[in-house]
Chains A and B, each alone.
Chain A
Amino acid sequence: MSSQSREIAFQGLWKNNAALVQLLGLCPLLAVSNSVVNALGLGLATMLVLTGSNLTVSLIRHNVTPAIRLPAFVMIIAAYTTCAELLMQAFAFELYQALGIFIPLIVTNCTILGRADAFASKNAVLPSVLDGLMMGTGFALVLFVLGMLRELFGTGQIFANMDLLLPFAADWTLTVFPDYPGFLLAILPPGAFIFLGLLIALKHVIDSHLAERAANRQSSVIASSKRVRVTG
C-alpha cells in the first residue's frame, strides 16, 4: 500500500470519520441504527453509493465547470440511490421490505456530496474510489457499533433477524441478558443521540491518550539524545 492510500484509509476510517468527526449523515445514522441488521444494511448501501458516486464524479471532473458542479453531483448521487433501490427491490426483496423506507435517506447523507466535492472532483479515479470505499466503511462501522449498542441495551439481544441481510444467518440471534425487560430509550431516537455522543467521547479519549503517548515518546527521544550529547 502506498503512503497516499494509507493516508486515505486512515482519514476515512478514523481521523476524519464521517460519522464521528465530520458529524455528517446524521439523519440516516440516527434513524436506522436501532438494530444491527438495519445498521449494516444501510451502511453497506451507503458505502456502495458513495464509492459509485466518487468514481463517476472523478471520471467527469474535467468536464464540469465550477458553476454547475453541485447540481451535477446531486443528480449523480440521486441516480445511484434510485438505481440501488430498484436493484434491491428486484433482487433482494426481503431486504428491501426490511430497509426499503430508509434507502431514499441515502440521498440526504451529506457525506456523499461532501466527498464528491472535496475529494473526487480534485483527484484521479483510483484514489477517489478508495476514498469512497474507506469513508463508506468508516461510516458503516460506526453504524454497526451504534446498532449493536442500541440493540443490546434496548432489547438485551444482538444480531436478531440477521437473515434478512444474510440468508444463512437465521440463528445468529445472541441473547446477552436473558429476561431483559427492555429499555425503550435506547431504541427510540434520543438513544441514538446519547450513544453517538458516548462514541464520540470515546474516540476523543483514545485520541488524546495516543497523542499523550506520542508526546512522551518524543520527549524521551529528545532527553536521551541530549544525554548522548552530554556524555559525548
Chain B
Amino acid sequence: MDQELKQSIKKNSLLLAAFALSVALSVGLVNELTREQIIFQFQEAERRALFEVLPPASHNNDLLHDNILLEPLDPRFRNLDLLGLSAARKAYTARLDGRISGVILPLEVHDGYSGDIVMLVGIDAAARITGVRVISHRETPGLGDKVDLRVSEWILGFDGKSLQNPPVTKWLVKKDGGDFDQFTGATITPRAVVNGVRKALLFFSENRTQLLGE
C-alpha cells in the first residue's frame, strides 16, 4: 500500500474517533445533568396518577413505597394474565390507619387500535372502582385518544362501578350490548379499555384475600 493512502486512512480514522469521543462526551454530560430531574419527573407523573385513582381521604400511608411487584406468572396470584402485564409492574396498597382500604392495580390491554394501552385501576375494599387512568397509549388523536383524561372525561364514567353495578354481562360497550358508551367513529379503543377494566375487577375478586390481606 502506498504511503500516502496509509497516511490518509490514519488521519481520517483518528479524526473520526476524536469526533465520536467529543460527541459522546457532550451527550454524556447532558445526560448526567438531566438524570436526576428526569427520574423526579417520572416519579411525579406516577404519583399524580396514583393520587388520581384513589380519593385522598381514603388512605394515609406512603402509597408510593407500599407496593407489591407483580411479575408475569407470579405464583402468588390466580389468573394474573387477566391484567395482561408484559413486564413486572407494581400494584399499590392504600391503608387508612393501618387497615387496607383499597388497591391500585396495573393493567395493560393489547387489543387497542395501535400499540398497548397501559392503565392504573383503583379499587376500594368493597370492590368498587375509585378511578381509572390511562398512563400511556398511542391511540389515534381525535378519535381513540378520548380515553385520555387530558382529551375527554369519558374515563371518569368508571368511577363507582363494580361487577354488580352494572352486572358483569353488561360490562361491554353499547355496540356489544353493554352499558358503556363508545366514541363516534371509534369503537375499538373504548371496547379494549372496558374489557380491560372488567378483567381487572375479575382479578381483584379472585385474589381478594392476598390483595386485602384478609
Residues facing A in B34-70 (CB within 8 A) are: 34, 37-38, 41, 44-45
Identify which of A38, A68, A86 contacts B141 (C-beta below 8 A). A38
Identify which of A87, A89, A155 contacts B142 (C-beta below 8 A). A155
Question: In the bound complex, do residue B26 and residue A89 qualify as a contact, i.e. CB atoms below 8 Å apart?
Answer: no
Question: In the bound complex, do residue B19 and residue A188 qualify as a contact, i.e. CB atoms below 8 Å apart?
Answer: no
Question: In the bound complex, do residue A35 and residue B142 qualify as a contact, i.e. CB atoms below 8 Å apart?
Answer: yes
Give Cα A82–Cα B138 distance, bound, in whole angstroms: 22
**B166-178 CB contact bits vs A (8 Å, 1 = yes)?**
0000000000000
A78 to B, closest residue via Cβ: B23
Identify which of A34, A68, A181, A182 contacts B12 (C-beta below 8 A). A68
B115 to A, closest residue via Cβ: A101
CB distance from A95 to the nearest CB of B (A): 11
* Residue positions of A touching B, CB distance < 8 A: 34-35, 38, 63-65, 67-68, 71-72, 75-76, 78-79, 82-83, 86-87, 89-91, 93, 97, 101, 151, 154-155, 157, 160-161, 164, 181-182, 184, 187-188
Question: Cβ of B126: which chain A residues have Cβ within 8 Å of it?
Answer: none
Give Cα A157–Cα B138 distance, bound, in whole angstroms: 20
* Residue positions of B touching A, CB distance < 8 A: 8, 11-12, 15-16, 19-20, 23, 26-27, 30-31, 34, 37-38, 41, 44-45, 136, 138, 140-143, 150-151, 184-185
18 further interface pairs, Cβ-Cβ under 8 Å (given A71-B19, A161-B151): A34-B140, A34-B142, A35-B141, A65-B12, A72-B16, A75-B20, A79-B23, A82-B30, A86-B30, A87-B34, A89-B38, A89-B41, A90-B37, A93-B41, A154-B142, A160-B151, A182-B185, A187-B142
Question: Cβ of A151: which chain B residues have Cβ within 8 Å of it?
Answer: 142
Give Cα A182–Cα B8 distance, bound, in whole angstroms: 61
CB distance from B176 to the nearest CB of A (A): 20
Instruction: Given the known inter-chain contacts A67-B8, A72-B16, A161-B151, please indicate yes or no for A182 contacting B142, CB distance below 8 A.
Output: yes
Question: In the bound complex, do residue A97 and residue B11 qualify as a contact, i.e. CB atoms below 8 Å apart?
Answer: no
Question: Cβ of A155: which chain B residues have Cβ within 8 Å of it?
Answer: 142-143
Question: Cβ of A78: which chain B residues have Cβ within 8 Å of it?
Answer: 23
Which 3 residue pairs spanning A and B have beta carbons closest together?
A90-B34, A155-B142, A90-B37
Majority SS at the chain A contact face: helix
Identify which of A63, A82, A90, A101 contacts B41 (C-beta below 8 A). A90
Question: In the bound complex, do residue B150 and residue A161 qualify as a contact, i.e. CB atoms below 8 Å apart?
Answer: yes
Question: In the bound complex, do residue B19 and residue A93 qualify as a contact, i.e. CB atoms below 8 Å apart?
Answer: no
26 residue pairs from A and B, CB less than 8 Å apart: A34-B141, A35-B141, A35-B142, A64-B15, A64-B19, A65-B8, A65-B15, A67-B12, A71-B16, A71-B19, A72-B16, A75-B19, A75-B20, A83-B30, A89-B38, A90-B34, A90-B37, A91-B37, A93-B45, A97-B45, A155-B142, A160-B151, A181-B185, A184-B143, A184-B185, A187-B142
A72 to B, closest residue via Cβ: B19
Instruction: Given the known inter-chain contacts A161-B150, A182-B142, A182-B185, please indicate yes or no for A89 contacting B12, CB distance below 8 A.
Output: no
B20 to A, closest residue via Cβ: A75
Question: In the bound complex, do residue A90 and residue B12 qualify as a contact, i.e. CB atoms below 8 Å apart?
Answer: no
Give Cα A68–Cα B12 distance, bound, in whole angstroms: 7
